[in-house]
Structure 1
Amino acid sequence: MTKKIVFTGGGSAGHVTPNLALIDELKGWQVTYIGSKDGIEKKLVQAHGVDYRAISSGKLRRYFDMKNFKDPFKVLAGVMQAYLMLKKIKPDVIFSKGGFVSVPVVIGGWLNHIPVYIHESDITPGLANRIAIKFATKLFVTFEEAAAHLPKDKAVYTGAPIRDVLFKGDRNKGLDFLGFQSDKPVLLIMGGSLGAKKINEVVRESLPDLLKKYQIVHLCGKGNVEPALESTEGYRQFDYVDKELPDVMAAASIILSRAGSNAIFEFLALKKPMILIPLPLRASRGDQILNAESFKNKGLCEVLENDTLTPALLQQTIENVYKNRYDYVDRMEAAQNATHGIKNILSELKK
């Protein structure tokens, strides 16, 4: 008999791409994805050719907003919709990657007595997963340290699920796409889907010095391409890169990035020396700061603070990491168990 699984998770690509990585490995399973009516997950999942069902969802906020009075009713409507949807689908298991849309699905699964498995990317769970944990069978974690913040009877260390497509990147194709030389190191800068104003500013201020030694590919975020720099030799800038990203990452010698969990474990899997600049507390709940500290303590990266970033400090750190790149690669090689999440999660799901 064909086994059935329902995936959920949305609100950001980070809550969707790990699900898609797992879906690609579930040969022979009947897969359904439940998400919001207009979230980013709908476009990504449907483009993947997966059966997509939409429910009502509301955002759970830690701050005052008039929408806080309406959204609980949206969540309750989503719970009822998910409950009825799941009752009809009758999946063997539900897998949730988090995000606000996942909460009604997890509760609907619990009401239907369906085993619910959650994956948490960060060291401490976000608000949605903190609510969902109460209704979950098990909670898979990316960081070993995360278990200390979770119920001991539910936490299972699996590591990060890494997209297989990343391992298929071709360095030469990446260099051709960028128009770069093969004998000069490539610095890849990633500020997230919306970019990072501070990082963009400091990098561009540093270009004259950095370009003496490095070729630079700068993923600066939507609307942040600087037309005046378009013809700068050895410098390529993009809002974002999609299908060419595996090749671009293969071409990179070192990476400068924010510290989102999915991204940094991908760098670890590819053994790319990295410099992390986590989002400051005023712009996040502090998860990226903890992620970066964990990697730094293991000798897997260097960390710079967003608010104290200067051109001189950036250039010196890049130089130090590049000079010692083989030491970082050796430590990354020893930490590869943390990137075996797909194998470990599938093993749990198939029990």
Structure 2
Amino acid sequence: MKKLMILALVLLVIISVNCVRNEEWENPVPDNVNEFVDTLLTVGWRNYYERNYDVAFAKFDTVTGIQGKNPDGYIGRGFASIELGSDDPTSYDAALMDFKFVIYTLEGKTPFEFYPQDTFLYVKFYPDSGKYLIVPKYSRRILGLDTTATITIIAKDTLGALKTTTSPLFALKGDSIIIPSVTKNFIYPDSNTLFIPDAGTIFLCNVIGLKDSIGNQSAAAALGFAQLYQVKFKKERKEEPYWKSVIYANLVKRLYPENIPSLGHYYDKRITAKAARIILAQDYFFKGYYYSSMWEVIEMKPEAAGELDPNAVDFILKLQQQISTLKP
């Protein structure tokens, strides 16, 4: 009897295997991959907005696995990684790599080189020609640049506020760089007078190895860089991430003064050019550049000009309150 039961079980297994073999195997990949990816991105950004960052990361990560060259997956995963960094600092490195991948893929080159003030022998302004001559200490750092690149100068004015201007390179002359004079960004909003920085006031020069425009997805990645470096500065209190946050935010502000157009419908609505301005206002406030922070706030909220008096004893408190009300 026992042998008969064992034989019956063996026959049942054989029959089951044959049935499985006779059935057609179904491919688990959906018929419309683009629709599936669109759904993943939509769900990913929804979870990001709802602060379910682990879920958001998983959805974006799946997109990168299905479409390895889709920038939207890397951008979303980068933003999610920033938020996950509070529990796992290695997530910051992951975000950095994702944003770099987007820039390298879409723009085809390393986008930024940073030049702190002490890397320059001198900076001289020529009023007659309206141009600067900038001579780095280490000439090898400007090799490979051409006149399609731009340069950002950050200087401290006589009021202690930071001023930023970005101009195309005029020419390379031996080991030096010649650029046009400052733009309207160096004009005081209240008096319409021009501030001309010199070597003693320049904090940092940043050569941007990009042309005058970048795509909307690259701009979103640049905004991600600005947010990432702001978070790193707040945790590490180091100068380099601070200035990188300022420069990336300024880049988005310059290239997209109104908004970043034509991002996918699934993106979080806070991924905007205004978010870059908010980061700038926060960055300047963190380091005590209150005038600079104030100008950013007033550009976004003109009505705040009547509330912010730099001579008032509660100026810093009111400025902080104004910044806290800003929404991208």
The TM-score bracket by the shorter chain reads under 0.3
Q: Which has the higher helix share?
A: 2
Q: TM-score, normalised by structure 2?
A: 0.26
Q: TM-score, normalised by structure 1?
A: 0.24
Give 1 or 2 for the bigger CA radius of gyration.
2
